[in-house]
A and B are shown apart, each in its own frame.
Chain A
Amino acid sequence: MKRHALASAVVFLLLGAAAYGALFVAPTEKTMGTIQRIFYLHVSSAWTGLTAFFICFLANLTYVWRHEPRWDWLAVSTAEVGLVFTTVVLVTGPIWAHPVWGIWWTWDARLTSTFVLWLLYTSYLLLRTLIEEPDRRALFSALFGIFAFIDVPLVFGSIRWWRTQHPQPVVMGGSGSGLEPTMWYVLLFSWGAMLSLMALLVRARFEFEAVRGETDLVRREAEGA
């Protein structure tokens, strides 16, 4: 309990520092102005969401290989947390886009692939609710998770090639794009803060799932006996 409280306090401090950095330390962007500061929340959430889904994919693979329940618990925890971060991305995106592009939404590569990603992991969680038996649920949702994750680059590629009216990527784009160094530091710091938040949430969710898995097992045994 004490450790939990301490970890939460550290995460909150980090998030506070990241917010301070985004609002006061980072320079104001030339054309977009203050609204561009949402960038630090938006991009760091996106990267954190992707990190969570990547861990989920690894957990899915390990479950299929080892058939140990804890990998399933890790997978469901990271999928849920990743979905939360992706939701933040989908909400902050339009808030940023409207004043800057004049529209809330455009069917551009990254927006659309993020949306498809969100849909895929929503279906993943939905699938889990529809299979009763724990081992079967773990195995089949893990397999779907694997298929969903390898689909993501294909979704991104297809949309990027054929459906894009894209503003050049700023981070890791071609020459001429790029961030001012302070902006980079603030962004990386925000990402770090978000990752710590992710770790905290995943850990709590994992412990909850472990308890649930064990009570479920006990209940099943009692019912079977």
Chain B
Amino acid sequence: MFSNTAVLLGKELRTEFRSRELLTTTVVFILVVVVLFSFTFDASSAESRRFAASLLWLAFLFAASLMLQPCFLREQSNDTLSALRLSVRDPFAIFAAKLSANTLFLLLTELLMLPVFSILFNVPVFPVFGQLVLVLFLGSLGVSIAGTALSAISAQARMRELLLPLLLLPLLTPVLVASTRVTLALLDTEPYMEWKGIGFLVVFDVVFLTALWLFGEYLLEE
């Protein structure tokens, strides 16, 4: 299964890095959202600290709900899903590859946006960079697991572009709450690590990964 996953992951990465469409669009989208947010309140330094974390995660979440869109849609419009299905012994390999690729893409865009965000909202991120990467990774992993599963669902429906955010965003409430809380603590004037939040994100990731592992093969039925 691992070699299958590695091959499929290579395929996902090659497809993306050939055009880099997804990454550039997502980066620009996050920029737009962040700038628009800044118009809706006057960001004094104290307020920035209070709102920065929520803003950051909302922007990431909206971006993710768009970014995960083509994940299964591309397979469907190119009619490659059944070929993909036949090429692996365990269908979970397809999900494992796709969700690793998505986590990687999300993490990459987030890391690109972090310095920009730090400058625009005047919040220092470098002293707590390591801890932030940990939250970003666990959060993005949760978003990707749930998002990959739901993009397989929404690809089957009409109005799928609208449907995916609608299905995904309420489902991600726990991720949003926990990651925002951890990030908030890290951006505090006296930063501290909220381990409870990290633990919670791990639980979320494990629960949804297990569900995907159990029900993944049905998601690929045609």
Residues of chain A at the chain B interface (Cβ within 8 Å): 64, 116, 119-120, 123, 126-127, 130-132, 136, 139-140, 143-144, 146-148, 150-151, 154-155, 157-159, 161-163
Chain A residues with CB under 8 A of B171 = 120, 147-148, 151
B105 to chain A, nearest CB (A): 22
Specify which of A140, A150, A157, A163 lies most central, judged by the most chain B CB atoms within 10 Å of its CB.
Answer: A140
Which 4 pairs, one residue from A and one from B, show the smallest C-beta to C-beta distance?
A: A158-B174, A130-B157, A154-B174, A158-B177
Chain A residues with CB under 8 A of B159 = 130
B113 to chain A, nearest CB (A): 24
Residues of chain B at the chain A interface (Cβ within 8 Å): 146, 149-150, 153-154, 156-159, 163, 166-167, 170-171, 173-174, 177-178, 181, 196-197, 200, 203-204, 207-208, 211, 215, 218-219, 221
A119 to chain B, nearest CB (A): 4
* A157 contacts B200, C-beta separation under 8 Å: yes
For the residues of B in contact with A, the DSSP-based class is: helix
CA distance A162 to B174 in the complex (A): 10
* B218 contacts A161, C-beta separation under 8 Å: no
Chain A residues with CB under 8 A of B158 = 130-132
Chain B residues with CB under 8 A of A151 = 171, 173-174
Would you list 29 pairs from A and B whose C-beta atoms are within 8 A, ordered by A residue?
Answer: A116-B170, A119-B170, A120-B170, A123-B167, A123-B170, A126-B166, A130-B158, A131-B156, A139-B218, A139-B221, A140-B153, A143-B149, A143-B215, A143-B218, A146-B211, A146-B215, A147-B146, A147-B211, A148-B171, A150-B207, A154-B203, A155-B174, A157-B200, A158-B174, A158-B178, A158-B200, A159-B177, A162-B177, A162-B181
Residue of B nearest to A130 (CB): B157
Apart from A131-B158, A143-B218, A163-B177, list 20 A-B contacts with CB within 8 A. A126-B163, A126-B166, A127-B163, A127-B167, A130-B157, A132-B158, A136-B156, A143-B215, A147-B149, A147-B171, A150-B211, A151-B174, A155-B173, A157-B174, A157-B200, A158-B174, A158-B178, A158-B200, A161-B200, A162-B178
